[in-house]
Amino acid sequence: MGPAAASRAIVVGIQSGAGLPVPGPSDIRAVRDRCVYFLGISGYFHDSAVALFRDGCVLSCVEEERFTREKHTGDFPRHAIAWTLARHGLDMSDLDEVGFYARPWNLLIGRTLRALRYFPASLEDLTTRDPGKALGVFGISRSLRDGAFPARRPAGFRLRYLDHHLTHAASAFLPSPFEHAAVLGIDGAGEDITTWFGEGRGGRVERRQCIRLPHSLGLFYSAVTHYLGFKPWGGEGKVMGLASYGDPDRYYAAMRELVHWTDDGGLRLDMRYFAYHLSNWRRWTTPRFEERFGPARAPESEMTRHAEDIAAALQRVVEEAALAMVRHLHGLVPSPNLCLAGGVALNSVMNGRIAREGPFENIFIQPAANDAGTALGAGLVLAHLRHGLPRQHEQSLVYLGPDFDDAACEAAARAAGLRIERRADVVEYTAERLAAGEIVGWFQGKMEVGPRALGNRSILADPRGPEMKDTINLRVKHREPFRPFAPSVLAEAAGDWFTGARESPHMLLVFPVRPERRAEVPAITHVDGTARVQTVRREDNARYYALIDAFGRRTGVPMLLNTSFNVRGEPIVGTPEDAVRCFTGTQMDLLVLGDLVCRKA
């Protein structure tokens, strides 16, 4: 954006607000002769991330876990900030505003009021809090100016603490293709709000209604996830995969009694069964839960029919509650368009039901629907809601992370002693090897944001082999056998393979595989006949599209099995060194780094 446009942005910014205090002249410093930089930060609890905007355009977004290699880390995103500044040749003094994804005072007041309300049962919550963590949130501004990051001159940015669910909603609506949409944010909790019903129109996003703690569809799912022996804040996707194996009827009635919803957007959990709000998230369920549903499953223990049936009942109840929510939201905001965000919006089976059975014609789901995406949301709130910059519909929300040139890729491969071949026909060659049954590590361009690998940090394989799922699990991923693998399919061919398919560029919708085609693609067909689909358009990722197309020309199947480039428990690989380490530590056949084809010596 040139000086004239930047000047216009500032004038518009003084006029706008969208439910926020209208910024006065002192809030917007003299930046007329240059671009305006906004930094969005999420972190301190889980899924820390950083997004950088120049004027209204996102330049990059990256999660801290990709640097520290600790999955879902909630650490202050020190590495992500340092990379972001270095990547764009900036320092702290170039930033105009920094947005943080939560309001610590709201958090503190909400928790204190809850502790008083449930006292003395809440004693554990009061005595186990980490005051250092709370102070850390209040001290963000100081952390950003403490000399850890470069600054040519004293940094003059203004730090703004933002409403958590507003950042979710902004991340869902403002990058969407819609001029008007209903917006639903569902997560565990942000400050004390757990479900956010709202409306987006033009450059504005506003809340219409909300549900507050302790009543939370996300925390209900997390609590049962914990009961089933998986980690909350990350293991929910495993439970979703497990649910397809179970009989939902066996525990449905009992599970349904724990959750009450009403047609007017109300939600209440039977809190006699849950303890997260009393225990600083140390205990999730009360003994009453085990009395009702049986003993909890120990982590890493053998999978049982009981666990599968509990997961199935949980999944069905959550889907029904979410359908009631979207129907209510459609009454509040009668639009054909729905935008979804919040950690619960990563539940692609639920999203598929909302798409098929809900009242909305079109759905847009942010790829980083979890809290990582609120870094994007924070930047979007500053750029558009606070300063009124025009929305940018066409920018990619996916490929926003680090990329590496050929020299860096080659150096990493050589350091590991790999056999390297540079091929001009790398796409055709890789398609050939995939069709021959090889498992390929595919490392290209800018890293994806969010938990799904979408064709730049992916492990790819032929979806046709009935044994491919087990082969990948045995030789590469080492993950739970009940978890399905997902397909990437050319967007124009999706309808030939999946019933009711619609655009799903972020792999966040599940569709049934057409019954007559299931035998052709057994490696991506889940036990219940469904698949979590990524539809790929040429304009979104030209090289990945070309690869799937080349595979389709050879096999008649225009799709690939796509799983994230990592092993179980690790974040997706970030650098060529990470990719090489993952490749050499597993029995993958081929590693493709840009145009370099690498094999083990």
Which residues make up the interface to Fe ion (CB under 5 A)?
187, 190, 371
Report whether 181 contacts 208 (CB < 8 A): no
Which residue carries 């603490």 as its tokens? 161
**Shortest Cβ 372–Fe ion spacing (Å):** 10
What are the structure tokens assigned to 453, written together?
Answer: 């690998």
Closest CB 74 distance from Fe ion, rounded Å:
12
Q: Which residues contact 71 (CB under 8 A, 6 or more apart)?
A: 65, 234, 569, 570, 571
Indicate the residue type of 197. Answer: F
| Cis amide bond preceding 120, omega within 30 | yes
CB of 167 vs Fe ion, minimal distance in Å = 8
Q: How far is the CB of 189 from Fe ion (least distance, A)?
A: 7
Euclidean distance between CA atoms 42 and 123, whole angstroms: 29
For residue 248, give every residue at least 6 positions away whose Cβ sits within 8 Å of its Cβ, in sequence order, or none.
Answer: 309, 312, 313, 315, 316
Q: 8: how many CB neighbours lie within 10 A of its CB? A: 15
Q: Which is nearer to Fe ion, 94 or 371 (CB)?
A: 371
* DSSP-derived 3-state class of residue 259: strand
State in angstroms the smallest separation of the CB of 344 from Fe ion. 9
What is d(CA 330, CA 197) in angstroms, rounded to the nearest whole number? 10
CB of 166 vs Fe ion, minimal distance in Å: 11
Residue 45 or 583: which CB sits closer to Fe ion?
A: 45
Nearer to Fe ion, 236 or 371 (CB): 371
| Ramachandran angles phi, psi of 405, nearest 5° | -80, 175
Alpha-helical regions (H) of 16-77: 65-68
Structure tokens at 283: 């205990």
CB 160 within 8 A of CB 99: yes
Secondary structure string (H, E, C) spanning 300-346: CCCCCHHHHHHHHHHHHHHHHHHHHHHHHHHHHCCCCEEEEECHHHH
Name the residue whose CB lies closest to Fe ion: 187
Q: CA dist 159 to 37, 92, 142, 466, Å?
A: 13, 12, 10, 54
Shortest distance, position 371 Cβ to Fe ion, whole Å = 5
- CA-CA-CA-CA dihedral for 159, 163, 165, 168, to nearest 10: -20
Closest approach of Fe ion to the CB of residue 47, in Å: 8
Instruction: Name which of 51 and 591 has its Cβ closer to Fe ion.
Output: 51
Q: Whole-number minimum distance, CB 164 to Fe ion, in Å?
A: 6
User: Least distance (Å) from Fe ion to the CB of residue 122?
Assistant: 22
Residue 544's nearest CA partner among 420, 468, 437, 448 is 448
For residue 450, the minimal CB distance to Fe ion (Å) is 13
Please list, residue by residue across 408-421, b when 16 or more beta carbons sit within 10 angstroms of its beta carbon and e when fewer do.
ebbebbeebebeee
Least CB distance to Fe ion at residue 380 (A): 15
Indicate the DSSP class of residue 477.
I
Indicate the residue among 85 and 107 with the shorter CB distance to Fe ion.
Answer: 107
Give the separation between CA 417 and CA 175, rounded to whole angstroms.
Answer: 43
The count of other CB atoms within 10 Å of the CB of residue 209 is 14
Minimum gap (Å) between residue 379 Cβ and Fe ion: 16
Closer to Fe ion by CB, 102 or 440: give it. 102
**Which residue, 255, 257, 290, 289, is CA-closest to 273?**
289
Rounded least distance, CB 324 to Fe ion, Å:
21
Provide the residue count of the chain: 601
Cα torsion 547, 548, 551, 555 to 10°: value is: -170
Q: Which is nearer to Fe ion, 222 or 444 (CB)?
A: 222
Distance (Å, whole) CA 155 – CA 259: 49
Shorter beta-carbon distance to Fe ion: residue 192 or 371: 371
- In one letter, which amino acid is 58? V
